[in-house]
A = this chain, B = another copy of it.
Amino acid sequence: MPVNLNLPDLASLLPVPGVELGVASAGIKKVGRKDVLVMRLAHDSEVVGVFTQNRFCAAPVTVCLEHLHNEDGIRALVVNTGNANAGTGEDGLRRAHETCAALAEQLGFEPEQVLPFSTGVIMEPLPHAKIIAAMPAAIADLKPANWGDAAQAIMTTDIAPKAASRKVMLDGQDFVLTGIAKGSGMIHPNMATMLSFLATDAPVSCEALEAVLRYAVNKSFNCITVDGDTSTNDSCILIATGVTEAPVIMDDGDPRFPALRDAVTELMTQLAKAIVRDGEGATKFMEIKVTGGRDETECKQIAYAVARSPLVKTAFFASDPNLGRILAAIGYAGVANLDVNKVKLWLGRVLVAENGGRSSSYEEDDVQLIMDAPEIEVRTHLGRGDAAATVWTCDFSYEYVKINAEYRT
């Protein structure tokens, strides 16, 4: 079960003026399951995105990158689960294009104004005819209050939907910010390994929105790992409808920019942590902090080495303070000239290691309670600078193996 994941009160998600959502069942993997989401955006919405760095990126990712360059702007998104349309070559691109064209025709837009998203099994042909057939039902369902249904429709192996919502006050004026995301395996960013859609009604230029997105993703979705596998389909989309009247936030010099950036970052961090808490088979949630590094890159490199180690993750699963495995992971992270005699390691508030080995004050009994808890903080100080980074991850359980051994059955 998800670790300390408060299920979002889906009914309380704030509608974003300028965004309507509708869901439908296309029967891609399971008959009757809502597996198609359509989002319609107000005219002149600004839409920006970041996508997987996987060379085998999915066809919809390629099409998104094309369509985001169109001059008429994005007016609609279509998402399906059950099939990733990845590793599908030219045929996959054709099917993604046909999906966009069909939705555009039904909504009265140009095909280039539609962004497609898919998640599910790789290397199977996308059943786009089924998706197209489900569009009228999704369109009939379009309404601003549908974020909760949308969060549920994009789930795959997720146990819980991920959604968050808040008001943002910018220079005394209230705006809305709402987002949804899905995990929960093949989670290891660069970019984030998931689908996520956030929208605000604030008016923001494309340039400023890009800056907000990149900052926020780097502090949130690009700080999580479940299994170290970078998906073919990762996409994170940030939408500013601008429906609520206000002067446009043009760039990062606008005094409202930091508040917007921080609100988006906080919401994305909440969604990113929710993905880890609901990681496949997760029973523990770990925050891996690395401080005292020369730069953020080396801090993240060490944090990820610890967060990805199967040996560390199985020890946490077993609540076994076999903490030498953390030292081993720090040691093989590949940071040049790391002086291990300056490295300090804490589990919660307990100093575990210093001077190249176990701390003289360390007693295994002191950490057993910490290991038994569902939330664990691991902190490493490198003693060679002022940079820091934090990565969130979960443990490695029998259930992870089971879920992934039986994924397609």
* A-to-B contact residues, CB < 8 Å: 52-57, 84, 86-92, 121-125, 185-186, 188, 190, 227-232, 308-311, 314-315, 317-318, 320, 322-325, 327-333, 335, 338, 340-341, 353, 355-358, 396-398, 400-402, 404-409
Contacts and interface: CB of A to CB of B under 8 A. Distances in A.
Contacts of A407: 315, 320, 322
A188 B328 CA distance: 12
A356 to B, nearest CB: 4
Given A320-B407, A322-B121, A328-B186, A357 B401 contact: no
B121 A356 contact: no
B124 A229 contact: no
Contacts of A53: 332
Given A232-B331, A355-B89, A357-B88, A123 B324 contact: yes
B308 A87 contact: no
B405 A328 contact: no
Contact of A357 (B92, B311, B355): B92
Contacts of A324: 84, 86-87, 121-124, 232
A214 to B, nearest CB: 20
A121 to B, nearest CB: 7
Contact of A232 (B232, B308, B328, B396): B328
Contacts of A330: 55-56
Contact of A123 (B230, B333, B353, B398): B353
A311 B55 contact: no
B358 A327 contact: no
Contact of A310 (B89, B311, B331, B400): B400
Nearest to A188: B332
In the A-B complex, the 6 residue pairs with the closest CB atoms: A122-B324, A56-B331, A89-B357, A123-B324, A318-B405, A89-B356
Contacts of A86: 324, 327-328
Contacts of A124: 324, 358
A158 to B, nearest CB: 16
A62 to B, nearest CB: 10
13 contacts: A87-B327, A87-B356, A123-B323, A186-B311, A186-B325, A188-B332, A227-B311, A229-B309, A232-B324, A314-B405, A317-B405, A320-B408, A398-B402
Contacts of A232: 324, 327-328, 331
Nearest to A120: B324
A144 B335 CA distance: 43
Nearest to A312: B229
A21 B263 CA distance: 67
A327 B266 CA distance: 33
Nearest to A406: B318
A357 B87 contact: yes
A322 to B, nearest CB: 6
A355 B88 CA distance: 8
Contacts of A315: 404-405, 407
Nearest to A339: B55
Contact of A358 (B123, B309, B311, B402): B123
